[in-house]
Amino acid sequence: AYFAFQSIDWSADSQEIFFVETLEGADGMDCRIFSVSRNGGTPRPIARTGKTFVYDLATLPDGSGFLANAFDRDAGLQQIWYIGRDGAMRHITHDLSQYQGLSMTRDGRQILSSQVERHSALWVVDRENPASAKLITESGRRYDTPTWAHDGNIVSVRFEAGTRMLWTIMPGGATRPLMQQSIVDLDPHACPDRDDIVFSSARTGAYAIWRVRLDGSGLKQLTPGTNDRYPQCVAGGTVLYWVQTGNRRTGMQIPLDGGTPSPSGPLTPNHPHT
């Protein structure tokens, strides 16, 4: 399906209209910038950002390119970019904040956007005693989707300098990276009956489901990588997960030790995110 005209801007001489159009297909997202005359006619392709989704577009006064508020896949956040007419992109912002909206002064020298910062921490609390809540991670960090592992430690995604890494948090608060070369790892889930973690990772391209032991060894890719997300490890050695194809999600399952994926039938993984 097309999501047309999600961002529109005039050229400096008001003779052209630039707009962003995105095609969502079986291979994922394809985002492009087009131009059309103010008098109508056939839209003309200008630049292609591919899988980088553009939320807001502003045309530079000299017509050399655009400023954009676009999604940074590495950071998992919206950032401000420069986009040339050849589609080349470079960061204007590249940090742990998220930017919403984009406006530019008439001379193109200043940008206005809303900066949104997010900090999160992990707490442990006795379910029978709410007053026992204890902070176990340092302030100023961002942790997501924690899972309590079989060995009593916690594994969580930590955002670190534009990367999303799996970290182990011990009961006393000590932390360490689960793997030394993590880059784009998400959605950890601990197996209830063994020392394994399953997670989704884009380390080889599209998201696939992976397995690793709690000491960081035994790293193994389980699924072929067709945008596979949100794994759940169930007792007995089965992994449930979603395959995202366009706007369609399909529940699948695969043995923890690897094998051929199959439909999950009545067992479908919960979707932890909106």
Nearest Cα to Cα of residue 211 among 202, 224, 225, 200:
200
Q: What is the pLDDT at residue 273?
A: 41
**How confident is residue 268, by pLDDT bands cut at 50, 70 and 90?**
very low
Q: What is the pTM of this model?
A: 0.63
What average pLDDT does range 56-62 have in this prediction? 93
Q: What is the pLDDT at residue 202?
A: 86
> Among 30-39, 101-110, 147-156, 160-169, which is the least confidently predicted range?
160-169
pLDDT at 251 over 70: yes
> Among 46-50, 131-135, 157-161, which is the least confidently predicted range?
157-161
Distance CA 232, CA 82 (A): 39
Highest mean pLDDT among 23-37, 73-87, 250-264: 250-264
pLDDT at 22 over 90: no
Q: Can you read off the two tokens belonging to residue 235? A: 């007792």
What average pLDDT does range 155-174 have in this prediction? 83
Q: What is the pLDDT at residue 90?
A: 93
* Distant-in-sequence, close-in-space partners of 86: CB < 8 Å, separation ≥ 6: 47
Phi, psi dihedral angles at 247 (to 5 degrees)? -95, 5
- Give the helix, strand, coil percentages of the chain, each rounded to 5: 0, 55, 45
Q: Is the CA virtual torsion 229, 224, 142, 214 positive or negative?
A: positive
Q: What is the pLDDT at residue 164?
A: 82
Whole-number percent of the chain with pLDDT over 90: 50
Q: What is the pLDDT at residue 16?
A: 93
Nearest Cα to Cα of residue 57 among 10, 23, 118:
10
Summarised one tens digit per residue, pLDDT across range 79-99 is 999 999 888 999 999 887 889
Whole-number percent of the chain with pLDDT over 70: 89
Summarised one tens digit per residue, pLDDT across range 94-142 is 887 889 999 999 888 899 999 887 778 888 888 899 899 888 888 777 8
Distance CA 27, CA 259 (A): 24
